[in-house]
Amino acid sequence: MKKSSLWLSALGALGISVALVGCGQTFYFAGRVLPPSGLTNRVLVAIQNSSLASKGTLEIMDGYYDIRYKYNNPGVTFSVAGYSGALPISIQNMPEEQLGAVYGSGDGTLVVANYQKEDTSGSERGLNGPSSSVFITRNRNYIFAASQAAHVLTVVDNTTGGTFGLNLPGVYKVSVNSGGSAALAFVQNSNYIYYPQKLNASQTLSYSGGPNSWPKAAVDCEPQNAPGWCVYQAQSPDSVDSTGTPFGAPLVFDRPVKALFSNDGGTAYVLNCGQECGGTASSISLLPVGPTIFLPNQGSGKLPTAGQLKTIPIPGGASNALIDSTTMYVIGQQLLPDGLFAGNLTIVDLAANTAGSPTSISDGQPGAMSRIIEADDNTLWIGMTKCTNGERYAKGQPYGCLTMYNTATKTVTLLESYQGDATGIAAVTSLHKVYVAEGGQVYVYSTKDGRAFNNQYVTVTGTAWDVAYMDGVSDANNTVY
């Protein structure tokens, strides 16, 4: 775009904003209030070590013009006021609620940013030290965190003001459904999964006698003299031993690492990482959500017996995924005969519970962090870390950490220009672009053909680690949650 056209467009946008204000209108879409920055296409960037005095900032980019400052005044920049977390590493993007939860790995803080006001009121209370995985429910009632160093599953119950550290050695990941009613916890190098449940008054009284008074599947209940929450191992309550006595056989998975939830909320699709996490074979297991609902008196149905657990083999690897209606896009790393791993995308038909053949994508570190998000023009964007550890790099083949997949034509575009680890992706919907935190810097790509835009005016000082589209239409515009 020529500079004169840019300025004319900017003046036009300003005129529209002034007209809206003159008419008493201060919103732009979905009833959302125009924020203090006046920007309507904001991209939030989590930056580490932005200066000698700050270990973390949340900078706001103009996702329309791809600039980090006010369109008519380069001296004016925008950020989330009041943020002081150290080494922000992830953004749980909730644009429908006009919120974003930012986790700082340097100080273990979870800070909720107010998108409408572009500020924050400080960090959430109750977390038990650093978290290897943490999520807050959309209504902000509950926080679930894998406090791996402390060996506890931390539950922050904001409805009562209580914090519960449930002993679960090795816990390192948590998954929470979008409705904020079910959570699953995963233990590293384990073939079992766990879930927390909030107790009603009757259960609190009944379980107050210590471990001997707890249900068989309970791993821990806290506080033990009057428990408010328990964490349970996923077991089959209808299993019986050789004498016909119910005993609750543990459900067996294969290095489970994450769960996604069906649109109707009834099924949790558990990703079995398999070989890339030290297990046997990657797959997806279907688990009923009803029995794991953590709200008191809300659980329904039974968990299946181990032999009845429906499992879909995913030979290409299953360490992350995304659901769109009845289609699941699964990504992971497949172990090859030469001992190296190669990245793959597998498409699963959830209506038929069948998986297609794996499609080659960027390689990555087995079991490590990855990103997957849908964007304009029928594109799926996949980001990997440590892509120099895979088959492509070792064999001298074209490699990179970022892949664009067209869901309509089923074609892969491997962005071969290696920029470093792809740690965050945000889809700037309707503008046909994605923002990517790659190699510690911000890059912008076209969803039409994958070409890179000039990122001169969105480069940051410090290390860009995650990005989020603050003005996304829905919470689905998220690379982590």
Q: Are 439 and 455 in contact (CB under 8 A)?
A: no
* Rounded Cα–Cα distance for residues 65 and 72 (Å): 11
Q: Compute CA distances 417 → 66, 118, 450, whole Å.
A: 20, 34, 11
Average pLDDT over residues 323-343: 95
pLDDT of residue 240: 52
Strand pairing report for 218-222 and 229-233? antiparallel
pLDDT score for 398: 87
DSSP 279-339: SS--EEEEEESGGGB-STT---S-PPPGGG-EEEE-TT--SEEEEETTEEEEEEEEE-TTS
| Other residues' Cβ atoms within 10 Å of the Cβ of residue 459 | 11
The pLDDT assigned to 30 comes to 77
Q: Write down the pLDDT at residue 48.
A: 98
pLDDT for residue 11 is more than 60: no
Residue 54: partners with Cβ closer than 8 Å, 6 or more residues away: 84
Q: Alpha-carbon distance 152 to 166, whole Å? A: 5
Q: Is the pLDDT of residue 25 over 70?
A: no
**pTM check: above 0.85:** yes
- Mapping DSSP onto H, E and C, the string for 54-99 reads EEEEEEEEECCCCECEECCEEEEEEECECCCCCCEEEEEEEHHHCE
CA distance to 140, 215, 238, 303, per residue, from 231 (Å) = 20, 11, 19, 15
What is the Cα–Cα distance from 226 to 63, expressed in whole angstroms?
Answer: 51
Q: How confident is the model at residue 244, as a pLDDT?
A: 53
Mean pLDDT, the chain, rounded, equals 91
- Specify the fold of 35-469: Methylamine Dehydrogenase; Chain H (2.130.10)
Please state, in angstroms and rounded to a whole number, the distance separating the CA atoms of residues 406 and 417: 19
pLDDT > 70: what percent of the chain? 92
Per-residue pLDDT, averaged over 451-460, amounts to: 96
Which residue from 430, 431, 436 is spatially nearest to 403, judged by alpha carbons? 436
| pLDDT computed for residue 14 by the predictor | 39
As annotated, the residues of the chain forming the CATH 2.130.10.10 domain(s) are 35-469
**How many C-alpha atoms does 69 have within 13 Å on its Cβ side?**
9
Residue 301 pLDDT: 83
pLDDT one-digit tens code per residue, 335-386: 999 999 999 999 999 999 999 999 999 999 998 889 999 999 999 999 999 9
Residues in the chain: 481
**What is the C-alpha separation between 139 and 155, in angstroms, rounded?**
15
Q: How far apart are CA 479 and CA 437, in angstroms?
A: 11
pLDDT at 3 over 70: no
Angle subtended at Cα 252 by Cα 180 and Cα 166, rounded to the nearest 5 degrees? 45
Mind listing the pLDDT tens digit for each residue in 200-223?
999 999 999 999 999 888 999 999
pLDDT at residue 458 is higher than 50: yes
Q: Give ∠ CA 146-283-231 in degrees, rounded to 5.
A: 30
Do residues 272 and 248 make contact, with C-beta atoms less than 8 angstroms apart? Answer: no
* pLDDT number for residue 22: 36
pLDDT category at 28 given cuts 50, 70, 90 is confident
Using the predicted structure, report yes or no on whether residue 32 has a pLDDT greater than 80. yes
Distance (Å, whole) CA 268 – CA 145: 19
Q: Residue 266 and residue 286: Cα distance in Å, rounded?
A: 10
1 has pLDDT over 60: no
**Is the CB of residue 147 less than 8 Å from the CB of residue 134?**
no
With a cut of 80, say whether residue 237 has pLDDT above it.
no
